[in-house]
Amino acid sequence: DAGVIQSPRHEVTEMGQEVTLRCKPISGHDYLFWYRQTMMRGLELLIYFNNNVPIDDSGMPEDRFSAKMPNASFSTLKIQPSEPRDSAVYFCASTSTGSSYGYTFGSGTRLTVV
Amino acid sequence: AQSVSQHNHHVILSEAASLELGCNYSYGGTVNLFWYVQYPGQHLQLLLKYFSGDPLVKGIKGFEAEFIKSKFSFNLRKPSVQWSDTAEYFCAVNVKRSSNTGKLIFGQGTTLQVKP
């Protein structure tokens, strides 16, 4: 299994631009999570899906952030418009009910907004 | 709200020293417990997990953790650290509810620096 795949690995964008981060979970996993990691705040859960349905988006910072999961093998996290304070590493993780919720994390996307 | 607290933010040890990282959680029900490790520049990897049974669990690379229900704790230990253990360590808790959401709550992390 290739694991959780995220793209791009690095993204540098200008303030005000739209940014789209992508994630492919492990096949058969029914949960998908988006986390943001910064020095100041550590790991923050932004949103998670179960069977492609958003369950809890209370961690999404504001309306500029949106996430979708159109099918079981793909999810996106979009920031529009981006701001310098959005600079962070964004991790995607997946798990399944049968694994007792041991998450598998992707390699992350390091986002820099200048 | 449930929370996970890691007592030490930054730990510095010499090689061969013993390690213990504290983790406490605030939830009175049944939980699954995890420790994750993040090496510099890498993603989080599962170190060990506890679901039920023997409260002393062994993980990879010589790490172990003990679940003490009465203290709401799940401390991570290693008898003798190596320079390659330099990393950030995260404790995490999954609360077992009837809905069984699968949501993991992470502690703020502990940075371990091992000096050669």
At A6 the pLDDT is 97
Mean pLDDT, chain A, integer: 92
B94 neighbourhood in chain A, CB within 8 Å = 100-101
CA distance A60 to A36: 10
Phi, psi at B60, each rounded to 5°: -80, 160
CA dihedral B55, B47, B114, B25 (to 10 degrees): -50
Mutate to test the interface with B, among A31, A92, A103 (most CBs of B within 10 A): A103
pLDDT at position A42 is: 84
Return the amino acid letter for B35: W
In this prediction, residue B91 has a pLDDT band, given cuts at 50, 70 and 90, of: very high
- In chain A, what percentage of residues exceed pLDDT 90? 74
Helices (H), A21-83: none
Q: What is the mean pLDDT of chain B?
A: 90
Residues 45-104 (B) with a CB less than 8 A from some CB of A:
45-46, 49, 51, 90, 94, 100-104
pLDDT of A102 over the 90 cut = no
Mean pLDDT of A26-52: 91
Residue written as tokens 């979708």?
Answer: A68
pLDDT band at A101 (very low <50, low <70, confident <90, very high): low
Residue with the bigger pLDDT between B7 and B84: it is B84
Alpha carbon of B4 to those of A38, A50, B42, B55, B77: distances in Å? 17, 23, 22, 18, 18
d(CA A84, CA A86): 5
Residue environment code for B56-66, b if the CB has 16+ CB neighbours within 10 A, otherwise e: ebebeeebbbb
Cβ pair B102:A107 closer than 8 A: no
Q: Which segment of A8-12, A41-45, B46-50, B102-106 scores lowest on mean pLDDT?
A: B102-106
The answer to whether A50 contacts B101, with C-beta atoms less than 8 Å apart, is yes
Q: What is the pLDDT of residue B95?
A: 74
Interchain CB contact of B109 with A (< 8 Å): yes
Mutate to test the interface with B, among A101, A107, A109 (most CBs of B within 10 A): A101
pLDDT of residue A1: 58
Number of inter-chain CB pairs under 8 A, A vs B: 53
pLDDT given at position B101: 60
- The mean pLDDT of B58-85, rounded to a whole number, is 95
Would you state the pLDDT for residue B1?
A: 67
- Give the model confidence (pLDDT) of B28-70 as tens digits: 778 889 999 999 888 899 999 998 899 999 999 999 999 999 9
Spatial distance between the Cα atoms of B102 and A30, rounded to a whole number of angstroms: 10
Q: For residues A72 and A97, is the Cβ–Cβ distance under 8 A?
A: no
pLDDT score, position B98: 46
Q: How far does the CA of residue A4 sit from the closest CA of chain B (Å)? A: 11
- Where residue A97 falls among pLDDT bands split at 50, 70, 90? confident
Q: Which residues of A touch B4 (CB under 8 A)?
A: none
Q: Which amino acid is at A1?
A: D
